[in-house]
Structure 1
């Protein structure tokens, strides 16, 4: 057993939490790619992404241990899980919509600026402090993010609207992670994410109905993308991030997500032939250097502890 950042005894893990975070970043990099390949409207994409994730996780969350944990959950934690799910739903709605107005690079960069909100929230609510080396890593990473998306920031009209949507998605997902930081000190992984994804999918269903968004029929290939969105960026991405919240500081998870634009831009080049410019290449290298500086700052310190 090992003691996590919250002072709790964590379950045994054979995976280094920092390696898990890196693998999760790779997984979420596929999110914008799969989304662009779907012909369904944004609200329907978000709904099926979370709903399929709930179905996949059901056997793991509703086993005997999971049911016992649900029986003892407090009303406060249940409400917090629902609120977290609502903010996750809002994040998906505005971010997916932004991809219809701006590029993969710009949208991904802006939404991953959630790290700023999370770092501030972690300090005020959880007293998690960032070292000078950690702040330098954050500064490098944010600089790289700006370099990647700077070309789109000069374009008005629809691209600007898409950028604003993506930025609002940054705030929503930050709230989701901050609530998760609190709940993961008391709830196991699968019962927690099952509650959050379930609440999120219900909210998205109601939103689809309220906006008269069609939930069918869609081409057969769309259903493949729905499933892959649930499996790769949601379960292998978001769920692993939530798993890591019990082992590392919230800032480590949120700042690491800033690596998503690098992966998304590389994938967009091979799949959509979206060729990155010189600034995007420099930005990608800067992000990697910043993430290395930030993560090693914490991994070395915790290893010594």
Structure 2
């Protein structure tokens, strides 16, 4: 039975609230560690997923009800691992506002990949929205590069965030397919989160890092990443994709930059430049057009 619209909206609101803390917790962990290296970014990514998978260990006592969705869940986990590796690294180079705005272009990519892989042809309005959104992303990148807002290499950070959005879009689409093929939400997330953790955990060592020697606050922030943005936020959105189109779920995620940027201003005094704000508005407009076109 399909849940009521009120229940779906409530779960989406809970997810939005939880993920709004994601980039803020990353920035706090970066400040506490004093380490902006790629290795530490991977420590945060792997730690977040590893702790989330660890907290789901008791659920493995029950066997999977169906194995048809297992390959999709594992592929979704691989996409999620790539998403976090790219996105969290982007925050070492660019501002919270730019990173969160670019990484939430998911509706554009979900629509595009739905067309390419699932024969869900987009309308002309959807294609217009994609073009507008990409132009907004370009404005953000140029504004960041000129303004020097909150990052050491804004263009690189913006590119990483955009690629993170592509990976996240595959994650949501594959998650929908896994649940369509018989996996419950708990079965799906335990497979996907564990697969992501297993892929991410060795990476810090490959880049000269490790998991020890950081201030205690860093581990606290990583634990909060696992609890809030991951187990509450992502699981809420994954549950919603079972009941409504993924493009509508990713539209809800567009509210993340609003909350994240407000928190960034309150905590870090980070106020985006005019061109970055304009680019974000154009990007959101384009995504909105793409979503409306996708529903026709």
Same fold by TM-score greater than 0.5: yes
The alpha-carbon distance between structure 1 residues 220 and 244, as it changes in their structure 2 partners (threshold 3 A), is same
CA contact (8 A) 1:84 1:176 kept: yes
Q: Which residue of 2 aligns with 1:23?
A: 14
Measured on the aligned residues, the alpha-carbon RMSD in Å equals 3.2
In the alignment, what sits opposite 2:209? 213
Would the aligned equivalents of 1:262 and 1:284 in 2 still touch at CA under 8 Å? no
Q: Which moved more, 1:171-180 or 1:211-220?
A: 211-220
What is the TM-score when the length of structure 2 is the normalising length? 0.81
How many angstroms does 1:154 deviate by? 4.2
Superimposed CA distance per residue, residues 58-109 of structure 1 (whole angstroms, 9 cap, x where no aligned partner): 34x335xxx14x1x432x5323222221121111111111111111111112
The count of corresponding residues between Structure 1 and Structure 2 is 284
Residue 111 of structure 1 and its aligned partner are, at CA, apart by 1.7
Cα distance 1:272–1:225, how it changes in 2: closer, same or farther (>3 A)?
Answer: same
CA gap of 1:238–1:256, structure 2 versus 1, over 3 A, is same
CA distance in 2, matches of 1:152, 1:163: 8
Contact kept? 1:141, 1:286, Cα under 8 Å: yes
Which of 33, 40, 56 is the equivalent residue of 2:24? 33
**Residue 118 (1) aligns with residue 99 (2):** no
- Relative distance call for 1:131 and 1:22 in structure 2 (3 A) is farther
Residue 48 of structure 1, CA deviation: 0.9
For each residue in 1:195-226, what CA deviation from the matched residue of structure 2 results, as whole angstroms up to 9, or x when unmatched?
11101111111222333321112211112101
1:43-62 aligned at under 5 Å gives the runs 43-59=42-58, 61-62=59-60
In structure 2, relative to structure 1, the CA distance for the partners of 1:43 and 1:256 (3 Å cut) is same
Among residues 142, 145, 157, which one is paired with 1:162 in the alignment? 157
Q: Conserved in 2, the CA contact under 8 Å of 1:122 and 1:251? A: no
Alpha-carbon distance in structure 2 between the residues aligned to 1:184 and 1:142: 30
- CA contact under 8 A between 1:98 and 1:161: conserved in structure 2? yes
Q: Which runs of 5+ in 1 are unaligned?
A: 3-11
